[in-house]
Structures are given as structure tokens and as C-alpha cells.
């Protein structure tokens, strides 16, 4: 790690005027801003900027009823213009007849999007909503929260939830924000303010954030994902690594994944910042880890050379405790210990934590068969962690692949597969990997897989059709499963080809398991 003073000098993403905008009470009045995107974060950014006195033009390609309602609201509160439609999103609009001073983009918009590419070519700074939130976090009369920033290919939402729970158990006013679902600008504008924010950051959000100075930070893990958005794995890796930049107290890294340690070694951090590892094995000095069945701390105690502080038992994490859940809990513990949370509050936070749906969620345990919903496993790395937790699996997998490879996933876990039931409009990538690396494992596809439920709706998934598909999938898995098996839905793919979201896919799975529907449809073996 390289030390720095944590300053934010003007550079290619920051003009002299923008360099001075480092608090809510700074001079935002008259700043010409284009807000790109009208989702939850875009709406929040536009609303915030209007309140600050900026001149705001909002652009979104979607002409949906929801966007129209949001546009009406923003016009009422003072947006200069709200431009809806694909034509408007293809070029950078003027603001009051002049080039904008700033573009604030929604995280889903990639750098290659025409409006953003035009802004970048013109030298106009581009921020995300997280960068804007960091700039306005200081406000007279309200506490300024410390930020604990969390990224990784998988496990972010679980870790941010555990972090929030531990902070609350310690008596801190804290909340999970960012990519977890609550727009961070909505949190920043809370009238009471917060002591600490547990901020989940996607690679998209990190790409558009430039000056955050977290108290502590972590990249939980890294694996190929979102290559289509970033353009390359190297660019995705760089975005994730930026979570460590300018960290003040502790950079938490995954001892079992060297890439995250390298990120910390290369980060420009503030003077005195420590590197603290977490491992699901025995911890060395300055690490969080496991001794027998206990989570322990050998980093944030004075006697760390020859002792460890007990934090919690593994069993307190839940009914099914896969290895990666232990890792997530240790990462959260490292973050909050860096923020001064006592060991007892780590334990109390783990006990109080309620895991979200669709993350290695036990749906049923009947007739010797365990049914697990891990719809949140939307890439091979997450699915690998799920598969590693069980010895004999009927695997429900497939969906929108996002351009990733399934070769290593199937090769590593072929020995634990009893059968595979495939989802997805295009099962070929996963089907091919199974044929190459698990040729003796039977693979089953719905008879109508080549048409897909989304095709009759112009490419948008039909929820009813997706639910019917899942009923067949569950019925087929029930037919294949034997005593001692786990039926695991860990798709290793996104859901949007046949379902509206991973949550819809998971809910459909749970409903079908409980109803045991889908009789009368014949499987097609690949």
C-alpha cells in the first residue's frame, strides 16, 4: 500500500469549480448538470441536485409510464427539462443553451453509451450518484457519517447486511445503502443523519466514483463478470480495486484470493492505513479467521501476536453455513472492528442478522431431499461457492450468461452432480461445458426451450410464462432427486431472459417447490 494525504486535486474528471463542491453547503447554484438515467439512483440524483440549486436536465431512453410519472414529479420540483426516448439518449443535450458543467450518470449506463461517450470526448466530468453523495455528505447541523465500502463479485449484499447489523448492535446509528437497494443520496438526505454507512458498491458504481475516502474497505472476491459492460476483465478488475483507494484505517482483503491482496498492495491509501486479511482457515497476525468452530480476531487486539479475540460461533450464522458465508461474516467483522465496534457487538449483530431471500435459502427439507434457493448466484463464481457446499446435487442452472465461461465451474464440480435441469433461452454455453466436462451427468431441458417465454413480448420476460417454466423445472428436479440429495437452484447466470429479476426467479422456485406443480410436462434430455 502507498500512503497519501487523502487530498482530491483537480484532474481530468474535476474542473476547478467542481473541486470546490465538497459539502452540501457549497455553491451548487446554477451548476448545469445532465442526469443520465431515471431509475432509482438517477431520480434521487436529479432530486438532490435540484434541491441544491443546480440547473438540471434529465435524460432516459425509456418512455414507460413509470418514467413519465417520475418526469412529472421532477418538473414540478424544478427540473429544467426531462427528455424521454431513445433519440434523446443518443446525444448530449444542452442545458439552458450551453454545454453542461457535469454529467451524473446512473450506474447501469456503460462508458460506451453514446451520450456518455460524447461527454467524455468533450472533457465534461462524469460522476455517479455515489460520487455525488460523497460530495454532499457534509452538511451543517447533521453528523457526517463514516463510510465502510464493500465490493466483490459475490457476497456484497450479505456482507453489507451483516455489517449494518453489527453496527446497530454496537449502538451506532447505521444503515446499509448503495447497490443494496436504498439509493445512497436518499440516505445522505435523512434529516437525522447517520454515524456510519455500510455502502455496497458495484463495479459500475466504482467506475463512476473518484474521491471517496472510506474509513475501511473490502473487496470480498473477484471473478469474471460484467465483461460486457466494462469491455474487458482487466477493466472490471481495476474498477473493483478502486474500492481501496484513499482508505483511512483498514483495507480488508481475502487471504484465500491473492488478487485482492494485490489490489491492497497497489492502492494509494492514507497514511497509517492497515492491511487486514480474512480467511476461513487459521488466521495469522493481523487477520480475521476461524479457530475450530469460532470466528476470531487477530487484527484489532493488542495481544495479536500470541492470542485472538473470540467473536462468534459458526453455528450462529444459520441452519446451512457454507464456507463463503463464513468469509462474508469475517469481512464484515473486519470492517466494523476497524470502526471501533466491540467483539460482543459482532456476535450480537450476527445473531440479529436476517439474511435476504434467494441467497442459499432453505426452502424445504422433505423425504431426505434438501431444496435450496440461491437465485442470487448470477455468475459462475457464486454458483461455484454454492455447489461446493453440497455433496450430491440436482442442479438447476442457466439463464443469461453475460458472456462468461462455464468451463472451470463444470470441471470443478462435475463429481457432485447427479443431474442438471437447464433454464435459459440459450442453454448452449452451459450445455456445451457440461458435455465436455461432465459427459455422464444427465442434462434435461424444457421441450420448448428454443422459443423461451420472453419471445412473445418483444424480448421482455413474461412473468406468467416464467412461473410456468419453473413449475416444470421443480417437478423434473423432484423426479430426479434421491434421498441425501440437494436440489440446488444456483443458476450461474442472470435472469432477465425468462424472469423479471433474480428475485422473481427465486420466488417462482419457492412457490413451485411448495406447490409441487408442473406434472404432465415431458422432459427433453440433451
Phi and psi at 34, nearest 5°, equal -100, 125
Q: Is 502:433 a contact under the CB 8 Å cutoff? A: no
48 is in an annotated binding site: no
> Mutual orientation of helices 343-352 and 323-338 as an angle, nearest 10°?
130
Dihedrals φ, ψ of 220, to 5°? -65, -40
CB neighbours of residue 447 within 10 Å: 12
The DSSP 8-state label assigned to residue 494 in this structure reads B
* DSSP conformational letter for 177: E
70 marked as binding residue: no
Do 46 and 74 form a contact (C-beta atoms < 8 A)?
yes
Burial of 100 (0-12, 13-18, 19+ CB in 10 A): buried
Enumerate residues 6+ apart whose C-beta is below 8 A from 231: 111, 112
3-state secondary structure 31-47: CEEEEECCCHHHHHHHH
CB 334 within 8 A of CB 326: no
Q: Which of 358, 429, 438 is nearest to 393 (CA)?
A: 438
Q: Is 302 exposed, middle or buried (0-12, 13-18, 19+ CB in 10 A)?
A: exposed
Q: Which three cell numbers stand for residue 60?
A: 432516459
Query: Does 7 show up as a binding residue in the annotation?
Result: no
User: CA-to-CA distance for 311 and 291, rounded, in angstroms?
Assistant: 11
Residue 156 is labelled as binding a ligand: yes
Q: 3-state class of 149 per DSSP?
A: strand
Q: Residue 258: CB partners within 8 Å, gap ≥ 6?
A: none
Ramachandran class of 213: left when φ > 0, alpha when ψ lies in -120 to 50, beta otherwise: beta
Q: Where are the beta strands (DSSP E) in 431-485?
A: 443-445
- According to DSSP, residue 356 is labeled P
Q: What is the DSSP letter of 418?
A: E
The DSSP bridge pattern shows strands 250-254 and 216-219 to be parallel
CA 257 to chain CA centroid, nearest Å: 19
Q: How far apart are the first and last CA of the chain?
A: 51
Per the annotation, does 67 bind a ligand?
no
Helix H or strand E encompassing 140: none
157 is in an annotated binding site: yes
d(CA 396, CA 499): 15
**Local structure of 387: helix, strand or coil:** helix
155 is an annotated ligand-binding site residue: yes
Residues belonging to the binding site are 152-158
Residues belonging to the binding site for ATP are 152-158
Amino acid at each position: 500500500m502507498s500512503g497519501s494525504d487523502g487530498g482530491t486535486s483537480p484532474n481530468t474528471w474535476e474542473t476547478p469549480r467542481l473541486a470546490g463542491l465538497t459539502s452540501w453547503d457549497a455553491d451548487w447554484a446554477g451548476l448545469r448538470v445532465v442526469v443520465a438515467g431515471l431509475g432509482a439512483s438517477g431520480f434521487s440524483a436529479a432530486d438532490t441536485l435540484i434541491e441544491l440549486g443546480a440547473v438540471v436536465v434529465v435524460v432516459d431512453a425509456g418512455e414507460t409510464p413509470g418514467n413519465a410519472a417520475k418526469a412529472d414529479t421532477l418538473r414540478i420540483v424544478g427540473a429544467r427539462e426531462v427528455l424521454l426516448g431513445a433519440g434523446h439518449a443518443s446525444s448530449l443535450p444542452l442545458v439552458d443553451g450551453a454545454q453542461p458543467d457535469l454529467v451524473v450518470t446512473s450506474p447501469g449506463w456503460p462508458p460506451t453509451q453514446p451520450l456518455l461517450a460524447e461527454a467524455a470526448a468533450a472533457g465534461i466530468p462524469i460522476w455517479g450518484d455515489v460520487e455525488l453523495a460523497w460530495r454532499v455528505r457534509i452538511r451543517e447541523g447533521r453528523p457526517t457519517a463514516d463510510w465502510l465500502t464493500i465490493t466483490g463479485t459475490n457476497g456484497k449484499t450479505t456482507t453489507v447486511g451483516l455489517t449494518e447489523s453489527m453496527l446497530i448492535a454496537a449502538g451506532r446509528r447505521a444503515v446499509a445503502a448503495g447497490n443494496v437497494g436504498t439509493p445512497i443520496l436518499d440516505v445522505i438526505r435523512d434529516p437525522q443523519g447517520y454515524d456510519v454507512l455500510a455502502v455496497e458498491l458495484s463495479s459500475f458504481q466504482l467506475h463512476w466514483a473518484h474521491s471517496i475516502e472510506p474509513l475501511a474497505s473490502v473487496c470480498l472476491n473477484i471473478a469474471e463478470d460484467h465483461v460486457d459492460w466494462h469491455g474487458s476483465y482487466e477493466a472490471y478488475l481495476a474498477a473493483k480495486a478502486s474500492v481501496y483507494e484513499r482508505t483511512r484505517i483498514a483495507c480488508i482483503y481475502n487471504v484465500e484470493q491473492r488478487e485482492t491482496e494485490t489490489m491492497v498492495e497497489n492502492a494509494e491509501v492514507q497514511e497509517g492505513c492497515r492491511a487486514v486479511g480474512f480467511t476461513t482457515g487459521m488466521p495469522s497476525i493481523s487477520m480475521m479467521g476461524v479457530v475450530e468452530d469460532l470466528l476470531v480476531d487477530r487484527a484489532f487486539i493488542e495481544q495479536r501476536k500470541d492470542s485472538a479475540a473470540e467473536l462468534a460461533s459458526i453455528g450462529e450464522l444459520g441452519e446451512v453455513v457454507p464456507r463463503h458465508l463464513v468469509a462474508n461474516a469475517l469481512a464484515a467483522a473486519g470492517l466494523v472492528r476497524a470502526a471501533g465496534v466491540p467483539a460482543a457487538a459482532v456476535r450480537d449483530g450476527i445473531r440479529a442478522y436476517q439474511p435476504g431471500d434467494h441467497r442459499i435459502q432453505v426452502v424445504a427439507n422433505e423425504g431426505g431431499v434438501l431444496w435450496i434457493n440461491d437465485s442470487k448466484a448470477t455468475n459462475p463464481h457464486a454458483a461455484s461457492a454454492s455447489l461446493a457446499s453440497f455433496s450430491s446435487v440436482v442442479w438447476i442452472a442457466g439463464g443469461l450468461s453475460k458472456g462468461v465461461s462455464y468451463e472451470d465451474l463444470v470441471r470443478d464440480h462435475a463429481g457432485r452432480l447427479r443431474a442438471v435441469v437447464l433454464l435459459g433461452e440459450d442453454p448452449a454455453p452451459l450445455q456445451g461445458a457440461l458435455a465436455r466436462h461432465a459427459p455422464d451427468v444427465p442434462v434435461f431441458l424444457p421441450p420448448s426451450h428454443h422459443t423461451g417465454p420472453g419471445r412473445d413480448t418483444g424480448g421482455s420476460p413474461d412473468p406468467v410464462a416464467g412461473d410456468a417454466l419453473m413449475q416444470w423445472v421443480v417437478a423434473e428436479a423432484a423426479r430426479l432427486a434421491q434421498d441425501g440429495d440437494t436440489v440446488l437452484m444456483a443458476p450461474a447466470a442472470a435472469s432477465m431472459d425468462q424472469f423479471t429479476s433474480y428475485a422473481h426467479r427465486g420466488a417462482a422456485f419457492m412457490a413451485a417447490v411448495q406447490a409441487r406443480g408442473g406434472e404432465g410436462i415431458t422432459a427433453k434430455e440433451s
